Every structure is written in C-alpha cells, then in structure tokens.
Amino acid sequence: MVDELKKITINKSGVQINTSGDCILLSDIITEKTGDFISYNTLRRLFGLVSFVKPSINTLNILAEFNGYKSYAHFVKISPKKAYWIEKEKLYLLINTNPKQILNQLNTNIINQDYILDFIISFCRELIYKKEINLLQKLFNSSFFERSNFNYSEKLHFGNAIGQLLIYNSDVGKKLLSQLNFINFVYCIHVDYTHLNGYYGDWNKQVHEEYKDGEIGSFSESILQLKNFLNVRSVTYDNLQKVNTKNFHPILIGRIYSIKFLSSGYQRKDIKQIFKSHLNIKNQEKVLIDFFYEPIMLALITKNFNLMGDIINFLSNKKVIFSYYQEAHKCQFDLMCLIFKFSLKKVKEKPNDFELMRNEIEHRYSYRDLFEMFVLVLEFHSQGKKEYTMKLYNKISKKLNYPLFSKDYLLRYFDK
C-alpha cells in the first residue's frame, strides 16, 4: 500500500520525483496543504533517490492526510474500495454509452482483473435488463470464459447471479441456449428446481434435444428424469447406464447415481460406488461432499431413511473440507441429519432450530423452496401449530407444482 500512496501523492502534487529538488518542492507543497513537515531527505529515501528506508507511521499519516484521508490506517481501509468504485464507474459509463467497447476490449486491461468477475456479472445483468440479445450472444461466444479459468466457486457465483435474473427474463435465456458458454456457466449452474414444470423445463428440453452425449447430455437427461419423478411419471436409467463419468464433475456424478436409485431403487451396494468414485480425485477432502449433493436431496425427496443413514455414516468417518460454494452442501447435509435423527425418535427439535435453518437456506438459490419445504415437514411433525405449518407447506407445494408433494406426502413423510 505504500507504493500506492506514493503514486497518488505524485498525482495529487503534480510533481514527478526525479531529483532532490523535486523532493524539496514536494515537501513544501505537503507542508502548505497539511501544516505538517516531511523533510526532503525523508522523501528522497521514500521515493528511492537514495537507499530506501522504511517510512515511519508519522510520515505515512502525513502523506495520507495530504491525499484526503484521516490517517494511513484510513487509507489502507478505504483505498481498495475507492479503486473498486472507480473501476465500476468506468464500467457503468461504458455500459450506458458504448457497451460494444467492453466486448472489444475484454482482452485488454480496461477492466482490472481483480474485479473482472463482478464487472462481467454487472455487464450481463445490464444487457439482460435491456434485452440486448446480440451483445449477450457475442459475450457468451467470446473466449473470455475459457481464458478466465474460473474456479468452481466463481463459476457458481456467476451462474447464480445471472440465473436469478433470468427467472423473470426466461425468453432472453432461451435465446442464449445456442451459446455453449451460457449452457456451461448459467444453465448447468443455476438449476431452477422450482420451475422444472416451467421455463427451466423448457430450457432443459431444448438442450436435451441438442446434446445427447458428454456432460451436458448427461446433465439434461438427469434433469429430465428427475422432472419425471416429481411429476409421478416413470423414470429410466437407460440413457445414462453406459456413460463414462470418469472426467465429470463430482456433483454430476452424484446426480447420475441419483437417477439410478430413482429408476431401480436404492441398494447399499450401489451407494458404495459413489464412495469409491472419490478415490480417483485429487484433493479428495475438498470434493467429497460434492458427490453426495444430489443423493442427499434425493434421500430427502424419496423419504429414504436407509440412504440418509448410509450417507451420514460414511461422511461422519471422513475428513471433509468445505469450500465457499459447499456451504450450501453443508446446510443440506445438516437438514438431512435432523430429519434422519427425528425419524429415529432420537431428537426433538426446538423452535430455535428451525429459525437457524431458515437463516441458512435464505440464500441457497435454486434449492431454496425445496429446503424450506423439508423444514416445514420437520416442523409439522415435531411442533405444534400444525394447521399453520400445513398452510405454509401447501403454499410452497402449489408454487413448486409437482404432484409428488401432496398433502398425503406431508402427513405420511415419516411412515415406514
């Protein structure tokens, strides 16, 4: 941060520090503006005209005050935010005056690489609001997404930020399904389980017709079969049975196994295949929970307490490391544990438990409504106010619009 402070001091004073005379001039300017004195020798050492000596906090405070900050500590705190604001203002100016320039200069440093993800999210959202289909298609057709090399947390952040907006602009999203980057970074990330019978189901149908193989084909097939199950239709594993999942993302591998369970029923020998799958992955602890993301939700949906128990027993005996994006996975796992323990009559939840759980699921994106529904299931069977809880359940069930989630589903959830 000292280098940044030196840089803005030069800009503020208008003095380029090349000689001792420049340091004398700068010293006078600082004294005139702040009333405090920094010797020209101190400035010579600071700007490298002689051997560098680490500046004192008093010197740094004076320089910070000269640049409009309360102290050096205030500068350190505010400066990154200020830089971010300036970059954002530049972006908004381009969006409103010449959005094509952003596309033309994605390969340059017009956008600070530290902020690139949020800037592109802002850019996409503005284009969606304005329904600038052509520019959106050009953006998703660019090499930006491959070059950026996003990690999965960043990919999830991007997909959910854009996907949330497209719920209400699904016509825009449908026109972007011709772009592979849109499919990989939005459609496959923000899986809208609330609208499988709506716009997202239509998206999935379009992708399913276009892609028959690979990760995208397997993904769309899995979504289609889950939709069938929620609508009380037959489920088939035939199109996934021979898929080579070796290089698939662990969440997709778990999704495919989930369809197998839906199709032929859960057997303990099958779940062991998931247990084995993670052994071939580097940094096993970091991705272990990913394999069980879909099977956990499947266990909840199907009321399969044997599957719940097996997952709990397995993960309880393993070292599991949670990345940022896996916080939702942990919340999902904790909810399953509560439901499983209640099924064994080993725990009685307190009203506070439900509030904590609701706080956890508040921002859990596409699974939010399903999470809330299972919290209500647990609340209905363990607490009073059954009439009120059923009213809330019926409201979510109506929103989800899946025949599986009937009144009888709620009443008989813990029947064995």
Give the chain's radius of gyration (CA, Å): 28
Task: List helix spans (H) across 98-234.
Answer: 99-104, 116-129, 133-140, 144-148, 152-166, 170-176, 180-182, 199-210, 214-230
Q: How many CB atoms lie within 10 A of CB 122?
A: 16
**What pLDDT sits at residue 246?**
81
Q: Which two tokens stand for residue 383?
A: 């607490």
Q: Which two tokens stand for residue 327?
A: 């916080």
Q: What's the pLDDT tens digit per position in 197-223?
A: 999 999 999 999 999 889 999 999 999
pLDDT above 90 coverage of the chain, percent: 38
Q: What's the pLDDT tens digit per position in 134-191?
A: 989 988 988 888 777 788 888 888 998 899 899 999 999 999 999 999 999 999 999 9
Q: Is the pLDDT of residue 105 over 90?
A: no
Count the alpha carbons within 13 Å of 331 in the hemisphere toward its beta carbon.
Answer: 25
Question: What secondary structure does DSSP assign to 17-46, as a single string?
Answer: --SHHHHHHHHHHHHHHHS----HHHHHHH
- The Cα–Cα gap between 53 and 115 comes to 33
Q: Is the pLDDT of residue 103 over 80?
A: no
Task: List helix spans (H) across 233-320.
Answer: 250-264, 268-277, 284-287, 293-302, 305-316
**What pLDDT sits at residue 136?**
92
Q: What's the pLDDT tens digit per position in 59-101?
A: 988 988 888 888 888 877 776 666 566 666 666 666 666 667 6
Q: Is the pLDDT of residue 385 over 60?
A: yes
Q: What's the pLDDT tens digit per position in 320-351?
A: 665 555 677 788 888 898 899 889 875 555 55
pLDDT above 70 coverage of the chain, percent: 79
Residue bearing tokens 């994605």 = 106
Query: Is residue 220 packed enough to be buried (19+ CB in 10 Å), middle (13-18) or exposed (0-12)?
Result: buried
pLDDT, averaged across the chain: 83
- The Cα–Cα gap between 55 and 36 comes to 15
Residue bearing tokens 């363990």 = 382
List, in order, residues 6 or more apart from 77 with CB less than 8 Å away: none
Judged by average pLDDT, the poorest of 2-16, 26-40, 155-169 is: 2-16
Q: Is the pLDDT of residue 408 over 70?
A: yes
Q: Is the pLDDT of residue 110 over 60?
A: no
**What pLDDT sits at residue 156?**
86
Q: What's the pLDDT tens digit per position in 236-252?
A: 999 998 888 888 888 89
The pLDDT of 379-396, averaged and rounded, is 90
Q: 85 with 10: CB under 8 angstroms?
A: no
**What pLDDT sits at residue 350?**
56
Q: Which two tokens stand for residue 198?
A: 């709506």
The pLDDT of 355-368, averaged and rounded, is 62
**What pLDDT sits at residue 389?**
93
